[in-house]
A = this chain, B = another copy of it.
Amino acid sequence: MSEGVEWALHSCLNLAWIGPGRAVTAARLAAYHELPAAYLNKRLQALARAGIVTSVSGPKGGFRLARALDRITLMDVVTAIEGPDEAFRCTEIRQQGPGAGHPRTYAAECAVAGAMGRAELAWRRELAAQTLDDVRQRAELQAPTAPERLRRWFANA
């Protein structure tokens, strides 16, 4: 998984803490965690395409959350950044080579792909069951002063 997922998740939390009214540039969001701005901008554009953030143009432009954190799951963000493909990709090697049988043999999903798919489903279910608001609440319990420190820094930007 690319580091873009980590960046995107933290950026969504940061946008929530900054507040819903304000758009923030990729450069400012990147500076807050010393990330490369151009790469973070690409991730934010991917979040915009997925409807998680909104890209606002103009002198006060930038990015803001498109919806509340309790309506954004970890699955939404992972899919926006990594794409919808399964991690395990069955290339149907059972149908290749001298052991290949009659095409009707392959009507049912390959048992290997099915087993790997069940594990991936468990992962996706857990990602879909957790919203960014759940994560925000835990983050605030751990570091109660962090949101205020963040707001001050972005206010002085």
Contacts and interface: CB of A to CB of B under 8 A. Distances in A.
Interface residues of A, number: 59
Given A87-B87, A115-B135, A32 B122 contact: no
Given A111-B138, A116-B74, A6 B143 contact: no
A143 B96 contact: no
A123 interface: yes
Given A1-B89, A74-B119, A33 B94 contact: yes
Interface string A4-24: 011101100100000000000
Total identical chains = 2
A135 B88 CA distance: 16
B6 A115 contact: no
Contacts of A106: 143
